[in-house]
Amino acid sequence: MQIKNKIRSIALLFGALFLLLPARAAAEVNVKEIVFEHLGDSYMWHITEWNGHEVGIPLPIIVRSHEGGWHVFLSSRLEHGAEYQGFYIASEGNHAGKIVERNAAGEEVRPSIDISITKNVLALFISCTILLLVILPVARWYRDGRMTPPRGFRGAVEMLVMNIQDEVIKPCVGTQYQRFSPYLLTVFFFILINNVLGLVPFFPGGANITGNIAVTFLLALCTFIATNFNGTKEYWKETLWPEVPLWLKLPAPIMPVLEIFGIFTKPFALMIRLFANITAGHAVILGLICVIFITASMGAAINTGMTIVAVAFSIFMSFLELLVAFIQAYVFTLLSAVFIGMAVEKHTTES
Amino acid sequence: MSLLIPDTGLLFWMTLSFLIVLGILTKFGFPIITKAVQKRSEYIADSMETARLAEEKIAALQKEGDAILAKAQEERNALLNEAQEIRNRMIAEARGAAEAEARAVAEKARADIEESKRKALSEIRGQVADLSVRIASKVVRERLADEGAQKHLIDRLLDDEINYPS
């Protein structure tokens, strides 16, 4: 009962807080800006502020302007709205936060190509390096053909690899699992490492990679390619001419259209699921942290109380996110394996 | 919502780095691990099978050894029995032989005694005859000088003959 009462009072406190929010907070702390700044990408890896100076890692900007010609320079040149070689970071409009230039007509446009090493790109490189540094030494350890099981960290990696392979890939993909297991394992560990690094609040973690639609898009695209470029005749027959009553196929091809639509919705769901889960988790934690700063102006008592609540909740959320980090990597791998399995495996339903 | 629009720059780098990572891990990473683990589990299964076979072999050998031992025991017992029998038989034979020998010796002794007795008797008979003749001749030689003396002589001679038969 006591715990229940406590929870209720905390919930009430929270409710009251959210009622107060719009009136007071907007002036001092722009929560939306903070959250979106974190969830999105940036040209500089902001770490902290020190004595009014921004401390961060300047990152290389690589752009190709509309007039042609590549421009490579450090993002520190563009700090505080400065302009360099005709490029600057837009502060408003469609391209807010992005590098823009002015075209001949004087309009603000994005450079024709922008492959700058942004915060997310650098974080991606770091996580890829970590992934390679985790897996390759473990794999090298096996080269000598030793027959004793590994211990410690290698044992943990082996356990995870074999668990995913035996419990997810093998049953879902079927007989041809060995062809797809490297891809699926890479996907699993890639997502897992990026998810976990995203939970680390400081450099080199903190970037929101798996909560970025470009990243999940590419992962889903890979699954899409693996599924449809390896589909058997049977798979395409099931898709284009499924075994349903004829009137569902002729004269209006309702089922085939649905099936073809399904080909695209499956990976699309993969893309959105991962993106949304990770983004939501980050947003919740950030929102909870922001509560501390919002309530700073409400007096010491409320601020202290809310700080305790917010920290407690973000600890809880961080644990939850740790779980989600694993679950989402697992789910992405599992569903990819299921889709691939549906495409490459001979169905046994007829027999 | 800018969050939902894939950024081309990030997409480019993501494609590049993910494909490189995928390539490296496909060539040098996961297949090596999974194959090694598979090989190891095969090795373990093989070892278990080998151990099982060895155990079976040992059990069979033990059984065989036991059988051999039992057989040897049996043979030993048989040999012992046989030896016992032979011993008994030999003892019996020896005893029989000894008895026969003894009987033969006794027989021979008896025969010898018989023979000696017969010889002695015949000798005695001869000597008696001889004595008789001698006495008779002495009696005859003395003549009947004195009837009384003669009679006395005959008595004495007869006494001698009876008491000290030669």
Distance from CA of A218 to the nearest CA of B (A): 7
How close does chain A come to B79, measured CA to CA in Å? 56
Across the interface, whether the CB atoms of A128 and B17 are under 8 A apart is answered yes
Number of neighbours of residue A107 by Cβ within 10 angstroms: 9
Mean per-residue pLDDT for B57-69? 95
In this prediction the ipTM stands at 0.83
**Which residue of B4, B24, B43 is in closest CB contact with A147?**
B43
Q: Going by DSSP bridges, is the β-strand pair A88-89/A60-64 parallel, antiparallel, or unpaired?
A: unpaired
Give pLDDT tens digits for B77-135. 999 999 999 999 989 988 888 888 888 888 888 888 888 888 888 887 777 777 777 77
Q: Which of A39, A41, A161 sits opposite B10 (nearest CB)?
A: A41
CA A19/CA A1 separation, integer angstroms: 27
Q: Chain A contacts of B24, Cβ < 8 Å?
A: 132, 136
B51 assigned to some structural domain: yes
Chain B residue closest in CA terms to A131: B21
A72: left (phi over 0), alpha (psi -120 to 50) or beta: beta
Chain B neighbors of A121, CB-CB under 8 A: 9-10, 13-14
B45 within some domain = yes
The per-residue pLDDT for range B13-38, each reduced to its tens digit, is: 999 999 999 999 999 989 988 888 88
**B36 near A CB under 8 A:** yes
| Number of Cβ atoms within 10 Å of the Cβ of A25 | 21
| Of A36, A115, A139, Cβ closest to residue B13 | A115
Task: Name the residue range of residue B50's domain.
Answer: 30-163
Residues 44-83 of B with CB under 8 A from A: 44
Residue positions counted in chain B: 166
Q: How many domains, in total, are found in chain B?
A: 1
Coil, helix or strand at residue A207: coil
Top-confidence range, A37-51, A121-135, A224-238: A121-135
Asked if residues A41 and B7 have their Cβ atoms less than 8 Å apart, the reply is: yes
pLDDT for the residue numbered A255? 86
Are the C-beta atoms of residues A346 and A237 closer than 8 Å to each other? Answer: no
Pairwise CB contact (< 8 Å): B9 & A121: yes
Give the helix/strand (H/E) hosting A157: helix A152-163
Running DSSP on this structure, what letter comes out for residue B20? Answer: H
Percent of chain B with pLDDT over 70: 92
Judged by CB atoms closer than 8 Å, whether chains meet at B39 and A145 is answered as yes
Measured distance CA(A32)–CA(B1) in Å, rounded: 13
CB pair distance less than 8 Å for A183 and B26? yes
> pTM higher than 0.90, yes or no?
no
Q: What is the pLDDT of residue B120?
A: 82
Amino acid identity of residue B27, one-letter, is K
B12 within domain boundaries = no
Q: Do A139 and B37 touch (CB under 8 A)?
A: no
Position B150 in a domain: yes
Tell whether B73 is covered by a domain. Answer: yes
Q: Are A114 and B10 in contact (CB under 8 A)?
A: no
Residue B128 forms part of a structural domain:
yes
Q: Between A41, A124, A139, which is nearest B29 by CB?
A: A139
